[in-house]
Amino acid sequence: MMTASPVVRRRRLGQELKQLREDAKLTAAEVARQVKFSPSKMSRLEAGRGAPAVADVTTILDFFEVQGERRDQLLKLTREARKKGWWQLYSDIPYSTYIGLEAEAKMILTYQPVVPGLFQTSRYAEAINRSTVPGMSDDAAEQQHDVRLQRQELLNLANPVQVRAVIDESAIARVVGGPEVMKEQLGRLLELAAQPNILLQVIPFSNGAHPGTLVGPFVILQFDHQEDANVVYVESNSDPYVRNTERYELMFDNLRANAVSVPESLALIKNRMSEL
């Protein structure tokens, strides 16, 4: 069973602390100087990076004279933000922050030139990992496999995450891991597309160039709580987490318009299966 994500709690706490400061019309540097924090510590707290120390948050709440129920809520949020997510049991996961955000998203909008990670079968995922990371050890491959299986639980919860996925036809045309592996993967896509929480569309080669051709893959994560700002994950960026999601939401709408309908997309997948 999935639990509350500490990554999301850290972001929320950081936004709350930043709001306290802005309401007081103070800069981060001014607050840091008053409470004897380094500017970098203040920056980390407001950005939600790393597990916040209860003592540090208490110091800030004392400075802003936050009392009563509001204080209790923020300290509770701090304790939740200090917990470990299941993904932290694994070492060397380069996208652990992303997993922590994904774990509590209510809606995932994604464009991918390959089969999205949440939809990948074990054998397809291993083939992708070994082809993109030459020399991957068996232990690393097993860890990647375990993490992917845990992530995919999001699709089967009592209140599952909603996924809107657009994939390029190359994702179903390129044979990954051999014909049998690919046929299994395409079958899995058809199974998932039958779930009410998943909408899958394909952009066929015949539709020519589209925004994703130049921009590359991206994922928009949307959250239930108003205080949890939506975020875009763009792996090619130096900072992969984009807070201004409007541009990418418009781009995703454009990609969906470039794609064929869901029934036509499923027909493309079935036809590709028959060719293998």
Question: How far is residue 131's CA from residue 174's CA, in Å, rounded to a whole number?
Answer: 13
Q: What is the pLDDT of residues 213-268, one digit of tens each?
A: 778 899 999 988 766 778 898 876 656 777 778 889 999 999 999 999 999 999 99
Q: Inform me whether the pLDDT recorded for 186 exceeds 90.
A: yes
Pairing of the two strands 241-242 and 231-233: antiparallel
pLDDT band, very low/low/confident/very high, at 92 (cuts 50, 70, 90): low
pLDDT of residue 227: 64
pLDDT of residue 1: 42
The pLDDT mean for the chain works out to: 87
Q: What is the pLDDT of residues 109-144, one digit of tens each?
A: 999 988 999 999 999 988 888 777 777 777 777 777
3-state secondary structure the chain: CCCCCHHHHHHHHHHHHHHHHHHCCCCHHHHHHHHCCCHHHHHHHHHCCCCCCHHHHHHHHHHCCCCHHHHHHHHHHHHHHCCCCHHHHCCCCCCHHHHHHHCCCCEEEEEECCCCHHHCCHHHHHHHHHHHCCCCCHHHHHHHHHHHHHHHHHHHCCCCCEEEEEEECHHHHCCCCCHHHHHHHHHHHHHHHCCCCEEEEEECHHHCCCHHHHHCCEEEEECCCCCCCCEEECCCCCCCEECCCHHHHHHHHHHHHHCCCHHHHHHHHHHHHHHC
pLDDT of residue 48: 84
Contact, 61 vs 45, CB < 8 A? no
Q: Inform me whether the pLDDT recorded for 36 exceeds 60.
A: yes
pLDDT of residue 87: 66
